[in-house]
Amino acid sequence: MANPSMILQPAFREGWIEIYAVFALSGFILGWVAQRGNYCFVNAMTSIFTTRSLERFGAVMILFGVTALGTGTLVVAGLVPVQDQYFFNYFAGWYTLVGSFVFGFGAAIAGGCNLSMLYRASSGYVQNWVELLGMMIGTYVFAVTIWPFQSYTMEKGILSTTTGGYVEYLPYLLFHSTSTYAVLVTSLLLGIPLVALGIYLEQRTRKGWRSKASNVNFPILGAGVKATGGAQTVKPTLITSPEGGGIKDLLLLRRPYGTNLSTVILALDMLLVFLAGAGYTFNYLVITSSDGGRFFEYALIPLGVNLFLTTPWFRDSLTIVDPSTLMVVMLCVGAFIASYLSGDFKVRIPKDRRRLVVGFLGGILVGVGVRMALGCNIGLMWTNFGQLGYDGFIFLLGMLSGVYLAVKVQERW
Amino acid sequence: MTNDPLEQLKLREPDERLDVTGESCPIPEMMTSKRLKRMKVGQVLEVVTDHQPAVDLTLPSLCKNLGYPFLILKEGDVYRFRVLKVA
């Protein structure tokens, strides 16, 4: 039997201008919604270990599940050719697990995953500027120290697959086929349990809140009292929940988006790119980490240092501005405008200046980790659920472990 | 002294303060959780933050999970998030 095709096939015959426009719009939406919804994968994981709260982690599971169901449906409906779903599946190996562990640890101590680092940097958080700088340095550290060894193991298949694509495509692994039937069954097998798990975790957490509120004979769910003005002269107003409010408040940016609303919009954003970018380029949401490395490369060019010519990894990666680079830039633009219009934008420096050093060191680990894993929590983990691959599960395990260690280390400081 | 937790949070001088201004999630939640673990039942912690999502989402979530009453005061750009540690 012939191997499945590894030639990209467009879903539409649009021009590159349309592709760039859609990627720009998609990046803008990603930055805007993530900022308004305070969407942070690291925070979703730290709260599991600090307070055993699974609400935000549940939302992430729903995000992955809806993405898998959505991309699967688009393929099954014949709107997106199947090879466009698996073409960008990466190699999986020891480095996926180790890299995601290093990434999770670094992101948790620095104060943000790749997504939250970018949208918070755009909202004025100096801590995340420093983390971003650290990530760029980390990319260089990885390129000169780890990449030569890692690429050798990838070539030789040492604890690694030697190719990605359909080889890591779950429909192919399960059914040895990339037929519509195989894709349909796999996306259902993957997506439905993830969505069900996410809803269960959210419900379980909220049930726990209600139970604890009744135990202390205190209406915790309505306990937030928000008062304005001086602390001594305030006239507090009881609010039902800090997240409460109507649609009007949402549209006027008076209150943040709820976690589930953000989840749905972000999943739809992923599907927009999956459809429009099919056959042209990496048709999933941003490759923030490698773009971070590329920005470091561009920054050094005026100084006469050209990493593209002298350094492994940079030599092997793209140096041109592609739709993904534009998407990262527009992510920052969307986040900046959202934070500015909502009155949230402000240059903020941590009171404890030592946190800047921690942010920088954490950023270096983020840079090393994402390059080892061949992607970050967006471009690899979330994306891979849309690709119906298995790297996302490996990354999730590694990242959870890294975040757990970071929480424990932080507790002992 | 009143037994009403909200009144206590409003009127009592906090026993401990944690200043996390300039920090973003997950740091305010992690530091608050860590500090609360070290405090005694009946004490009030005041977390000072300028990170809106922390007062909208993560710190209330932390308190709801622990079953601790909380109160939010706003002073200009800064929030004072007060938590009463209960049994």
Q: How far apart are CA B21 and CA B16, in angstroms?
A: 16
Is the ipTM value over 0.90, yes or no? no
Q: Nearest-CA neighbor of A135 among A286, A292, A287?
A: A292
Regions of chain A with pLDDT less than 70? 1, 214-245, 287-291, 317-321
Count of CA atoms in the C-beta half-sphere (13 A) of A179: 7
Residue A167 gets which letter from DSSP? G
Q: Find the Cα–Cα–Cα–Cα dihedral A325, A89, A365, A194, rounded to 10°.
A: 110
Query: What does the DSSP assignment read for A80-112?
Result: S-THHHHTTPPP-BHHHHHHHHHHHHHHHHHT-
> Per-residue DSSP letters for A255-295?
SPPPHHHHHHHHHHHHHHHHHHSTTTS--SS--HHHHHHHH
Give the one of B69, B73, B77 whose C-beta lies nearest to A227's C-beta: B73
Question: Which residues face A348 on adjacent strands?
Answer: A125
Choose the mutation target among B4, B20, B25, B41 for the interface with A, i.e. most A CBs under 10 Å: B25
How far A256 CA lies from chain B's nearest CA (Å)?
8
State pTM to two decimals.
Answer: 0.89
Element (H, E) at A238: strand A237-238
Q: Name the residue of chain B whose CA is nearest to A45's CA.
A: B26
Q: Determine the 3-state secondary structure of A228 from DSSP.
A: strand
Structure tokens at B23: 């920090």
Mean pLDDT of B14-19: 93
**Chain centroid to CA A299: how far?**
25
Amino acid at B25: C
- The yes-or-no answer on residue B63 being catalytic is no
Do the Cβ atoms of A40 and B26 come within 8 Å? yes
Query: How far from A337 is each of A1, A253, A334, CA to CA, in Å?
Result: 53, 11, 5
Can you tell me the mean pLDDT for B22-47? 91
Report the C-alpha dihedral over residues A368, A34, A387, A323, rounded to 10 degrees: -80
Cβ within 8 Å, pair A231-B34: no
Indicate yes or no: CB of B60 within 8 angstroms of CB of A241.
Answer: yes
Quickly list DSSP for A106-150: HHHHHT--HHHHHHHHTTTBHHHHHHHHHHHHHHHHHHHHTHHHH
Cβ pair A243:B29 closer than 8 A: no
Q: Which two tokens mark A261? A: 């609303």
Say which of A111, A209, A256 has its CB closest to residue B57: A256
